[in-house]
Amino acid sequence: MKALNGSIKKTFTILEHFTPQKSEWGVTELAKVLGANKSTVYRFLSDMQQLGILRQDPASEKYSLGLKLFELGNRVHIQSAFVEKTHPELAKVALEITETVHLAILKSNQVFYVDKVESPQGLKMSNHIGTYGPAHATSLGKVLLAFTLPEHDDFRRNNMLADTTLQAYTEHTITDTESLLRELAEVRSQGYAIDREEFEIGLICVAVPIFNRQNEIVASLSASGPANRFKEEEVENYVAILRSGATAIQQNIGFFKL
């Protein structure tokens, strides 16, 4: 991991040298400015070129920023536009359900929190907008996995699960693939997921899917509260409120797809 962190730092150090004032760099001049070995700099530049992060002019052999960065930048704008359309509904759900409400999408096989409205009852959640959480141990993640992965038996070999480590966060966390598959089948059947202290002791969460108008899963919407207040016998009421919010969001986002 240290080596990976070092590579990331070196990559961004190189990228920061591509500015409007100096948009192109040759290997030798960049290595000199960086005080780095020429072959090392060339390797980094070459790797970034292959990924589309940089492009190389065939004539001058100099490097400049590639379209991949433009694409990634646009994704940020897309997510911002998505939140603008969904946040008012999150606020309504949080007010009605009187618990903390989250909106999340699936990124790199993990839950990525894109928006949040705190509980009016004072419960403060530790997770923050722009951070990741485990898909298998959260209601948000289980909903996203259930409606993203194919339903047939072969989906247990799907890369999304094959590359996922089912880490235990509490004694209630699902840690084996077979149990997770059964849970996801149940989520698809009932249309919602529950996290019964699987990620954090004392915390119960329930989540529903958000589809666009093409019936494609886009995100998930959850309500979270302390176990002593979040009564499981009232789950149907929580689900009804969340589904109402998800339907309103679907109308707002139309055919939107992240």
Residues 6+ apart with CB under 8 A from 112: 104, 105, 106, 130, 131, 132
Q: What is the CATH number of domain 2-65?
A: 1.10.10.10
116-172: per-residue pLDDT in tens? 998 777 555 566 788 889 999 999 999 999 998 766 555 444 555 665 679 999 999
Q: What's the pLDDT score for residue 84?
A: 87
Q: What is the average per-residue pLDDT within 89-97?
A: 94
* pLDDT band at 231; cut points 50, 70, 90: confident
Strand ranges across the sheet with 132-134: 132-134, 110-117, 100-107, 217-226, 203-211, 193-196
List the chain domain ranges: 2-65, 74-253
Residue 157 pLDDT? 46
Q: Mention every residue, 6+ apart, whose C-beta is less than 8 A from residue 168.
A: 175
CATH 1.10.1060.10 fits 74-253, yes or no: no
User: Distance between CA 67 and CA 107 in Å, rounded?
Assistant: 21
Sign of CA dihedral 8, 49, 25, 21: negative
- Mean pLDDT value across the chain: 86
Between CA 249 and CA 254 the distance in angstroms is 8
